[in-house]
Each structure stands twice: as C-alpha cells, then as structure tokens.
C-alpha cells in the first residue's frame, strides 16, 4: 500500500489541478476537446437512448484514443534465450509453449524497473496527436498489475520500482485534459483459482474455481481500480474462455454500474462479442453486453445504425506489447486514413503503443504520433465532434464526416477526372480545403453536387474539403439518422440502405448497379426505415425476373399495404420499372416487403423501390 492524502486535501488538490488544466488547455491543439470537462453522466436502470448518448458523449466526440500495453512481457520483449517467440509480445508465455515456465516468466518482476517513465511525456504525446483518452493495461492476461493492489503481490509493488504506475499517469491525464481509462483482463494465466490452469503454470497450487475467482478476486480488483483511478471507461478482454459465463458477464456489468455508474464499459465485459469483428449480437440494449463494440485489428466495412457505438483497436506494428525489432510499422498515411475511416462510420480509433520495460515509447511510434498530430492540428475539426457520413457505404475516393450543415470530404485518391460527385439534394454554399483555405469549385448538377478538384491536392495522404450546404444534408437514397429521406418529393429505396432477411444478398447483375438477389425463399423479407412528408405516393419497383406470376407485398404498417404483380422482364439481369400501387404516408415508416407464394425459380432481383409523391 502507498500513502494517500486525506480526502479533503485530495479534493483541494484536484481542484487546483483542474485550474491548471484549464490554463494548459489554452495551449493544446484546436483539435482537442478535453473530456475531463464533460459532465459525468451516470448510467441508470431504465436509461433512454438520449440518456445513453449523453453518457457516451465524451467518448463519441473524442474519436481518437491511445492504447498502452505495458507489463512484464515488455521486459521479455519477445525473446526467450535469445530466440524470438513468434506472435504478440504480450502473449509470450502462452506462445512459448512450455519453454517458458511461469516461475521463470515471473523473474521479470525482479528486473522490471521503468526508470525512464515520464507520464507527462506519454500524455503529451497522446494529446498532441489529437487523442483525448488513453487506455492502459491495469492487468493483462499474465495477471501482473501495474498498480499496488491490495488483493495481490503479483504487482508493481513487487518490482525494484515498487511504486504505483497508474496514479502518476492518471494525474498527468488530469493535468493535460486527457481521459484516463483502464484495460483489464478477465482471463488470468497466473491466478491459482483461474481455469483452465495452464501447463506452464508451475506456481499455482490447489483446485481451480472460476466462480470464486470472479467473486473473490476479479470483482474486488475491478472495484479497487474504479474507486482509485476513476476510469472513463473499462476495457475488458479475455472474456472468451468457456469458464467465464454469460451470467458472470451480466453480474460483472452490474457490479461496474454500481461502483462506477459513469464509467463506460466495452462489450467484452460479457459474452456477446462476435469474434474479432467485435460487434455484439443484436448490437446493444441487452444485459451483459456493455456499451460499445470492439473490432480488433480491423475496421468495419460499413457504418451501423445511429446509437450503435464502437471503437476499432489496432497496433502500429505487429504486436501490442513491446517486441524488440518488430519494425513492421504502418505508415502515417495509413494511420490517418484509418482514423478518418472510423470517424466516417461513426466509430473511434484506439491506436496502440507498447512502451519498453524502461518506460520509453518506441521512437517510431512517437514519430507517427507527431505526424498524425500535425495533420490533426490542420484537419482535426473534421474528425472531432463529427457524425458519420450520411451515405451508408464509403465513397470510392475517400470518406465523409459531417457536423450540422457541413460535410467534410476527406479525399484519399483524386479521381482521374478530378470530379467528386455527391448524390445530395442540396445546393453548395461554399467549399474550401482546410489545409490552405483555397476554394474548390462546387456546383449543383441534377441530383448531385459536383466538385472540381485541382490537379494537385494539399496533402497526398488525406486532403479535407469543408463543404457547407444550404441546409441539413438530404442524401439521395441515403440515410439521415438511420432513415431514408425524401428528395424532391421522392423516396429512393436502394439495396445499400435495406435490411436484408435470411438468404438475401446484394449483387450486381448488370451495368455495375447493385440489386437485391437470391430471393428464392418466399419467407425472406426486405425492410427499409424511411421518413415521408405527408402525402399520397405512387410506388414503383425496378426489378428483373424470368418468371411471371410472383407478387410483392409492401407492408407500411398501420394496415397500409400495397400489393403488386412481378412481370416476366426477360431474365434476372433484364431490369424494368413496374408500378405496384399507391399509398398514403405521413412521417416515420418502417416498411417490410414480402413475397407472395413463389412461382418459378425465384421472386425477383430488385434494384430499387421508388415512392413518388403525387
């Protein structure tokens, strides 16, 4: 145990730190948002979607954070007896097979002495890169704790360093306006009660008992770190072994809510994660799934409905924990594009550094953080506090973020003809590069805004254009807040924005245009969410079908149905527009399309439905 200040003094001290942080903030880059100043919002039993948005705000607005993997494995640095152990540095004991006994692994505790640890330098490196939170491993799978825990001696207090490493980092975070967060592994290769017990564990004695491990060790430690470090979020991991159950996940989630109601939880607190893709079954809203999804080493190809939160975590080289000589570094261009990619899909990017056992972040990591920071000082406003692109799929030339009536066009690759075509029912007010302020020619052409790019872009990695529109964006066929909107009295329902039932796929049968296909089971459904201005609409479908006699039934809810015949169009790849009927609509509609009893090979390939106001 380390001595602590009396509570009153601590508060006074934190107050002064707050003032100091406010003064420092005047100097931090304009890209930063200081999550420490966001009001704390507590989770409640019957939280509304708006309540959750308020609780998640600092996280959502930040968009960019630093992951830090640091522990005994940093001392091994990927090598045993001078031989590189393949795999991630932090997995060395597991990856070494039985060549590294736990008793020997633990000798790193006698050597772990981070004399170069400079918490202010770490936090500044994060802040100056445009990161507004950091997540450090309080405990990784090897069970070693970076703070002086009252529940174990397998911690930093048992090293030559002796002192808590998390408190100084938390205090540096308060000074610089970075939200301090913790990673905590559920799987524990060291604890004697944890099962399955590893073969290389020659230290643990007695029977394993995971329910007791959870009750007597995991939960008390989680409470200890919440109360001691007030983490903005808890990043659980190692939840996938079958000894940890869904019931334990729900119980741990409830425990965290009770002891840290404002602490955000990732979905690895429970058992809902779909592999490395990282999202939860059914997205969110269920017990034991935490607050957000955790894609690992990948970025989802498309965004998710509004209200689904996620964060992609990724390494800069090949490993999370420090490995000597792992020089497979991603370029700054790749890292900036990844960050923008996440933001354009409504998610965060959590980028890892693996400090050495001496406490140094590798120079190659610092160089990349500095390069990202330089880009963020110019373009950060197009990342921070933005919302996802109004288009459900990425543009071929780059990515889009938005705030209010402004779209930020992040150009990765200049199209050969230099033209960016945005299918929106808006007029442009202004368009200019953030980097230079130089105007970009933008005009309305039919259903689109077309921008003419200069021959050379200001930044070969990502050049951002701030495009101000004449009002809220009205994407043609796209989504605003998860619903297709009308444009010039017309609602265009495309495969991209549909929710496809079992067996249905998006394919392209002709002219490179996508269509919904594979409709051979007449129990399959296709659904759209839309918002229709009050009126009477004619419903048409652009479809291809070899056989006549099939029927499409459109259920608009509230007893409003439109039913129409599918004619033979001459083949699956011969598309024709047919009128299905008319319907009265007013406001938000959840449309479900079903097929009547199937005739022939299948129902139809559907390219689009169009609702046109009369």
Contact range with ligand H79 by CB under 6 A, out of 13-21, 88-96, 475-483, 570-578: 88-96
Q: Which residue is nearest to ligand H79 (CB)?
A: 87
Stretches 73-81, 90-98, 480-488, 537-545: which one binds ligand H79 (CB under 6 A)?
A: 90-98
Cβ of residue 213: shortest distance to ligand H79, in angstroms? 18
SS (H, E, C) 519-537: CCCCCCEEEEEEEEEEEEE
The pair of structure tokens assigned to 599 is: 């005739």
- Is the separation of the CB atoms in 604 and 519 below 8 Å? yes
- CA distances, 476 to each of 53, 488, 494, 515 (Å): 27, 9, 10, 17
Toward ligand H79, which CB reaches closer, 88 or 340?
A: 88
Q: How far is the CB of 319 from ligand H79 (least distance, A)?
A: 8
Would you count residue 91 as binding ligand H79 (CB under 6 A)?
A: yes
Partners of residue 612 on adjacent β-strands: 490, 538
Task: Build a one-symbol-per-residue string for 32-71: x at contacts with ligand H79 by CB under 6 A, - elsewhere.
Answer: ----------------------------------------
Q: Which two tokens stand for residue 483?
A: 């619903």
Q: Binding marks (x or -) toward ligand H79, 210..249, rule CB under 6 A?
A: ---------------------------x------------
Told to check if 320 binds ligand H79 by CB under 6 A, we report: yes
Residues in contact with ligand H79, shown as a per-residue x/- string from 544 to 573 under the rule CB under 6 A: ------------------------------
- Secondary structure (3-state) at 70: coil
- Residue for token digits 């741990």? 252
316 in contact with ligand H79 (CB under 6 A) = no
User: Taking CB under 6 A as the rule, does residue 299 contact ligand H79?
Assistant: no
Stretch that binds ligand H79, among 85-93, 353-361, 522-530, 557-565 (CB under 6 A): 85-93
- Between CA 207 and CA 194 the distance in angstroms is 9
* Among 100, 313, 420, 462, interactor with ligand H79 by CB under 6 A: 313
Among 95, 113, 334, 592, binds ligand H79 (CB under 6 A): 95
Distance CA 591, CA 570 (A): 28
* Number of chain residues interacting with ligand H79 (CB under 6 A): 9
Contacting residue, 29, 87, 454, 596, with ligand H79 by CB under 6 A: 87
Q: Which 267-296 positions form the footprint of ligand H79 (CB under 6 A)?
A: 296
Choice between 250 and 318, CB closer to ligand H79: 318
Instruction: Show the tokens assigned to 19.
Output: 């003032």
Using the contact rule CB under 6 A, the part of the chain among 84-92, 101-109, 472-480, 590-598 near ligand H79 is: 84-92
Q: How far is the CB of 221 from ligand H79 (least distance, A)?
A: 17
Residue 199 vs 460, nearer CB to ligand H79: 199
Q: Which of 33, 41, 68, 88 binds ligand H79 (CB under 6 A)?
A: 88
Kindly write down the DSSP assignment for every residue of 458-479, as one continuous string. Answer: S-SS-EEEEEEESSS--BTT-E
The pair of structure tokens assigned to 262 is 């404002």
Do residues 583 and 555 touch, judged by C-beta distance below 8 A? no
Q: Tokens 């990342």 appear where?
A: 383
Contact, 531 vs 486, CB < 8 A? yes
Pick left, alpha or beta for residue 201 (phi over 0 → left; psi -120 to 50 → alpha; otherwise beta).
beta
What does each C-alpha distance from 583 to 409, 488, 598 come to in angstroms?
Answer: 37, 18, 24
- Give the DSSP H/E element, type plus range, for residue 375: helix 363-379
Residues at the interface with ligand H79 (CB under 6 A)? 87-88, 90-91, 95, 237, 296, 313, 320
């Amino acid at each position: 145990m380390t001595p602590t200040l009396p509570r009153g003094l601590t508060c006074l001290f934190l107050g002064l730190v707050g003032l100091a942080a406010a003064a420092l903030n005047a100097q931090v880059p304009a890209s930063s948002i200081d999550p420490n100043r966001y009001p704390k919002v507590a989770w409640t039993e019957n939280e509304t979607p708006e309540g959750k948005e308020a609780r998640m705000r600092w996280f959502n607005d930040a968009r960019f954070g630093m992951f830090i993997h640091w522990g005994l494995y940093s001392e091994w640095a990927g090598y045993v007896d001078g031989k590189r152990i393949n795999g991630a540095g932090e997995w060395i004991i597991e990856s070494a097979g039985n060549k590294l006994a736990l008793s020997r692994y633990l000798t790193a505790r006698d050597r772990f002495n981070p004399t170069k640890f400079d918490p202010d330098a770490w936090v500044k490196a994060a802040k100056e890169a445009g990161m507004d939170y950091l997540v450090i491993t309080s405990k990784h799978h090897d069970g070693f704790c970076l703070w002086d825990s009252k529940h174990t001696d397998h911690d930093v207090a048992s090293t030559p360093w002796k002192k808590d490493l998390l408190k100084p980092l938390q205090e540096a975070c308060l000074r610089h306006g970075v939200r301090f967060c913790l990673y905590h592994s559920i799987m524990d290769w060291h604890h004697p009660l944890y099962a399955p017990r590893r073969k290389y564990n020659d230290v643990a004695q007695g029977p394993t008992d995971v329910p007791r491990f959870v009750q007597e060790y995991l939960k008390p430690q989680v409470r200890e770190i919440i109360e001691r470090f007030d983490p903005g979020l808890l990043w659980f991991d190692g939840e996938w072994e079958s000894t940890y159950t869904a019931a334990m996940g729900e119980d741990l989630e409830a425990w965290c809510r009770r002891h840290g109601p404002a602490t955000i939880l990732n979905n690895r607190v429970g058992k809902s994660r779909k592999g490395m893709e990282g999202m939860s079954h059914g997205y969110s809203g269920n017990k034991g799934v935490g607050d957000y999804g955790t894609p690992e080493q990948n970025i989802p190809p498309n965004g998710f409905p509004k209200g689904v939160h996620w964060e992609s975590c990724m390494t800069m080289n090949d490993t999370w924990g420090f490995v000597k000589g792992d020089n497979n570094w991603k370029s700054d261009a790749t890292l900036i594009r990844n960050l923008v990619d996440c933001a354009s899909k409504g998610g965060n990017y959590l980028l890892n550094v693996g400090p050495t056992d001496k406490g140094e972040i590798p120079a190659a990591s610092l160089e990349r953080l500095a390069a990202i920071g330089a880009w963020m000082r110019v373009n950060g406003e197009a990342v921070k506090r933005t919302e996802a692109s109004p288009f459900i799929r990425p543009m071929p030339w780059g990515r889009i973020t938005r705030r209010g009536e402004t779209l930020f066009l992040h150009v990765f690759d200049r199209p050969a003809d230099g033209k960016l075509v945005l299918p929106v029912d808006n007029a442009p007010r202004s368009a200019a590069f953030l980097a230079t302020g130089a105007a970009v020619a933008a005009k309305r052409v039919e259903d689109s805004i077309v921008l003419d790019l200069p021959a050379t872009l200001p930044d070969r990695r990502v050049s951002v254009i701030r495009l101000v529109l004449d009002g809220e964006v009205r994407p043609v066929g796209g989504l605003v807040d998860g619903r297709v909107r009308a444009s010039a009295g017309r609602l265009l329902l495309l495969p991209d924005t549909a929710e496809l039932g079992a067996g249905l796929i998006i394919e392209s049968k002709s002219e490179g245009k996508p269509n919904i296909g594979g409709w051979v089971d007449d129990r399959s459904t296709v659904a759209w969410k839309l918002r229709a201005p009050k009126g009477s609409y004619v419903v048409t479908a652009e479809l291809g079908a070899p056989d006549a006699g099939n029927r499409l039934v459109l259920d608009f809810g509230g007893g409003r149905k439109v039913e129409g015949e599918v004619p033979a169009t001459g083949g699956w790849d011969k598309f024709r527009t047919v009128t299905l009927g008319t319907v009265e609509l007013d406001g938000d509609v959840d449309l479900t399309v079903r097929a009547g009893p199937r005739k022939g090979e299948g129902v139809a390939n559907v390219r689009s439905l169009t609702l046109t106001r009369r």
